[in-house]
Amino acid sequence: MPFFCFKLMSSGIVIVDYGAGNLRSVINALRTLGHEPEIGSNPRQIALAPVVILPGVGAGGAAMEALEELNLTDMLRRRVSQKMPLLGVCLGLQLLMTVTEEGGLVPCLGVVQGMVKKLPEEGKIPHMGWNQVKQVEPHPIFEGIPDNSNFYFVHSYYAEPEDSSAVVGTTDYGISFCSVLASGNLIATQFHPEKSGAMGLRFYDNFIKLALGSQTC
């Protein structure tokens, strides 16, 4: 019975809280779009929620440790293998990869094959500010968002997926890196949509519509 109560009261969107940074902006962005997200770190909640957002700022190694302590790594892997909607934001994109160079070589969730590497030293690090996202593959996540729109970035590492067909958006900063990844119901961005003005809100709106549209009730 408590389980059903939980389901009935659920807004359907859970933002994973594993201590990595401030979630308030993500919550505010979703509220502006008319959703009332839950904040959670309960494995069952993360496993069952129709839509999960994995945000994050900070260091990859510490974040993986936190996810492991909360017993969330397997739940997140299972979500992806069951093709349940998941959005990774910033560090949340990097954590999907096989391994990160940040803090040595730290294994990550491994749901997307590839490395997380440090940005080239020629540019200032962190890569901080507004930069363009080039839509290299058409995807419904870009609905209503013009090609080369600016989004707000702040990061020192970037993900390099082995399967380039999952890379739907790229950004140039010394190199061209994957700024939007999409593979089925798994979407991830290196930028912060919650800090990227109207286009960022549109991105969240597109994701939630895609995610909820994919549910079979």
Partner 1 sequence: MLTRRIIPCLDVKEGRVVKGTSFVQLKDAGDPVELADYYYKAGADELVFLDITATPEGRQTMASVVERISEKVFMPLTVGGGLRTIEDIQRLLRAGADKVSLNTSAVMNPRLISEGAERFGSQCMVVAIDARKNEGAVPWWQVYVSSGQQPVELDAVDWARRAVALGAGEILLTSMDADGHRAGYDIELTRAISEAVNVPVIASGGAGSLEDLYLALYEGKADAVLAASIFHYGVHTVAEAKEYLAKKGVPVRF
Is 194 part of the annotated catalytic residue set? yes
CB of 171 to partner 1, least distance (A): 9
Tokens of 192: 């912060």
Q: Give the per-residue contact string, 141-180, with partner 1 (x = CB under 8 A; - = no).
A: ---------x-xxxxx---------------xx-------
Q: How far is CA 93 from CA 10, 122, 127, 158, 180, in A?
A: 25, 23, 16, 9, 9
Asked if 200 is part of the footprint of partner 1 (rule: CB under 8 A), the reply reads: yes
Is 155 part of the annotated catalytic residue set? no
CB 100 within 8 A of CB 157: yes
Binder to partner 1 among 196, 206, 207, 210 (CB under 8 A)? 196
Is 139 part of the annotated catalytic residue set? no
Q: How far is CA 99 from CA 5, 69, 124, in A?
A: 39, 18, 24
CB atoms within 10 A of CB 150: 16
Known catalytic residues are 90, 192, 194
Q: Which residues are near partner 1 by CB under 8 A?
A: 21-22, 24-25, 28-29, 31-32, 57-59, 121, 123-132, 150, 152-156, 172-173, 194-198, 200-201
